[in-house]
Amino acid sequence: MNLHIKLENVSVKYKNFYALKDINISVKKGEKIGILGQSGSGKTTLCKIASNIEKPYEGKVELNVEQRGKLQFVFQDPTQSLNPRMKIFDIVTEPLVTNGIKNGEVLNQKFANSIKKVGLSPEVKNKYPHQISGGQKQRVAISRAIINEPEILICDEPISNLDISVSAQILNLLKDLYDELKFTMLFVSHDISSIYYLCDKTIILYRGAIMEWGETQDIINNPAHPYTTLLISSILSTENRDLKKVKIINRETNSRCLFADICYKYKKECDNYDAQPLKLNDRHYARCLYAKND
């Protein structure tokens, strides 16, 4: 089967708040998908739903992996995700032990191979997480995630707690591991440059809804949705520098577009917009009445 993950009309509701609303995505084997948005946009929730960690309030989720343990996570904060009472060897080999591998020679060999892949010395074997640096901890987390050769790797803001130089190293590591292991990857970030470097396709999330999606180069170089344009302009130096000074106006609208209430391009015609996506080309879609791709 060529499809790894499929979400159909998925919504996630917590009390009276929708963390995700009407999400439809299909992820094919071997794709590298970036998920981009501000804090609170639903990025982490989307990953939890896609991996079946959480169940949707509405909609259907299909997750196609050959066997248990073939979907792995790399989390934002390795300090939180690594058990401080376990040695690095036990942390990294835990997925294998969980899947029934008990042979010490096999565990040692797989540990050595996995640690080497992420650029760590075998000397970390008997250390505890507090005895290594933040960058090394994230490499341990990645080593743990790849030791069982995953089909799907979900990276939830894996570089946000690291300094710039270490972040670049981790991005290069993930790219090299993808080239070698050919897993499907979901990469969550609020950093546009890392997604541009690493991901073939990108999903733009705002308040739990997909605003724009398609090929990463199309979206970054020619953003079609006003939210995407603002998001990029606020971080990158672009020709639209004046957008950094755009005054956000809160208004009440009847539009089904979640961004309409503060959109700097809002017009009365937006009140009649049904929030259906506009196809810009075969690789690029946006949910906006005035979406355009120059």
Taking only the tens place, the pLDDT of each residue in 214-253 is 999 999 999 999 999 888 877 655 444 455 556 667 788 8
Q: Which amino acid is at 8?
A: E
pLDDT over 70 at 65, yes or no: yes
Q: Is the pLDDT of residue 5 over 90?
A: yes
237 or 15: which leads in pLDDT: 15
Domains of the chain from N-terminus onward: 3-203 (3.40.50.300), 216-286 (no CATH)
Percent of the chain with pLDDT over 90: 67
The span from the CA of 41 to the CA of 21, in Å, is 11
Look up the pTM and report it.
0.91
Question: CA torsion 86→89→94→95, rounded to 10°?
Answer: 140
Decide if 56 contacts 42 (C-beta within 8 A).
Answer: no
Q: Which amino acid would we find at residue 92? A: V
Q: Are 95 and 107 in contact (CB under 8 A)?
A: no
Give the model's pLDDT for residue 292.
62
Q: What is the pLDDT of residues 90-123, one digit of tens each?
A: 999 999 998 889 999 999 999 999 999 999 999 9
Using the structure block, give the residue that is written with the tokens 């009407």. 22
Q: Are 283 and 273 in contact (CB under 8 A)?
A: no
DSSP the chain: --EEEEEEEEEEEETTEEEEEEEEEEEETT-EEEEE--TTSSHHHHHHHHTTSS--SEEEEEE--SSTT-EEEE-S-HHHHS-TTS-HHHHHHHHHHHTT---HHHHHHHHHHHHHHTT--GGGGG--GGGS-HHHHHHHHHHHHHTT--SEEEEESTTTTS-HHHHHHHHHHHHHHHHHH--EEEEEES-HHHHHHH-SEEEEEETTEEEEEEEHHHHHHS--SHHHHHHHHTTS--TTGGGGGPPP-------S-TTTTT-TT--GGGGG-----EEEETTEEE--TT----
Residue-wise pLDDT for 143-194, tens only, equals 999 999 999 999 999 998 888 889 999 999 999 999 999 999 999 998 888 9
| Strand 201-206 to 32-36 pairing | parallel
